[in-house]
Structure formats: C-alpha cells, structure tokens
Amino acid sequence: MSATDQVKSDVAAAMKAGEKERVSALRLVLSSLQLAAKEGEADEVAVLRRERKRRLDAAEQYREGGRAELAEQEETEAELIAGYLPAELSDEELQTIVSDAVAESGATEAQDMGKVMSLAMPKVGGRADGKRVSAKVREALGT
C-alpha cells in the first residue's frame, strides 16, 4: 500500500474517531503527497521527509519566538509524519555504508567529501538525514 493510500485510510479512521487535530494534520500531508504526484514527483518518502523537516523547522522557529504551544503542535505533526517513513538506519549500518563509500571512492581528505556523499546517499535510500550522513563522512575522513 502506498503512503498516499495509507494516509487516506488514516484520515477516514481519524474522522470516524473524531480526532480533529489528527484529521487536520493528515489532510495537510495528503495534500502534499497528491500535489507532488500531480507534479510528477513519484518519491513519496522524499515528500514525507520534506514535510517532516518543515514541521521541525517551524517548531524551532516558534520556540525561538516564545510560542511553545505552536511548537508542540508542529512537533506532534512531525511525529505523525515520521510514522509513515521507513525505519532510520542505525549508526552501525550508516557507518558501514559510509566506510564502503570511502573505500570505493578512494577518498582520503575533506576535498573528497562530495565523491563519498554521491556514493553513500543512494545506498542510504532516504533512511537517514543528509546531515547525519554528512557528519559520518566528515568523521570518516577525519575532518
């Protein structure tokens, strides 16, 4: 079952249960998925990650602005979206992927980071944030 179909099903279930906030959040996610599909973007995981990141960024902005209640709402929506994402890679799995990419590219210094990232990111397959992968690559290259 695709993520879009799952979200549709969950919207219906939330409506029946009378969970107004959940319905609202799921409708926003569904709208983003449908818009991306209409524009030809077939990668639902990428859309979900982008939406989750937007919520987390908004929560951070609200916290800095002294709006804790809005920050909590955004974080709750981010957690809801995270439920539709594939499981994150463990640190050990990510380290293995990065080590293999470093060996494959022959990278030895920080200038080779782009080569390593271009090999590692497809293997990660959206199961780890780019910042996390980048940090592991830096660590592996000793920068």
- Whether residues 76 and 24 share a domain: the answer is yes
Total domains, the chain: 2
Model's pTM, two decimal places? Answer: 0.73
- For the stretch 103-138, pLDDT in tens is 888 888 888 888 888 888 888 877 887 888 899 999
DSSP-derived 3-state class of residue 43? coil
CATH number of 61's domain: 1.10.1510.10
Residue 12 reports pLDDT greater than 90? yes
- Whether residues 10 and 67 share a domain: the answer is yes
Which 8-state DSSP code applies to residue 112?
G
**C-alpha to C-alpha distance for 22 and 14, rounded to whole angstroms:** 7
Look at residue 11 in the predicted model and tell me its pLDDT.
Answer: 93
Q: Which amino acid is at 136?
A: K
Structural domain boundaries, residue 123: 91-141
CATH number of 97's domain: 1.10.10.410
**C-alpha to C-alpha distance for 71 and 4, rounded to whole angstroms:** 26
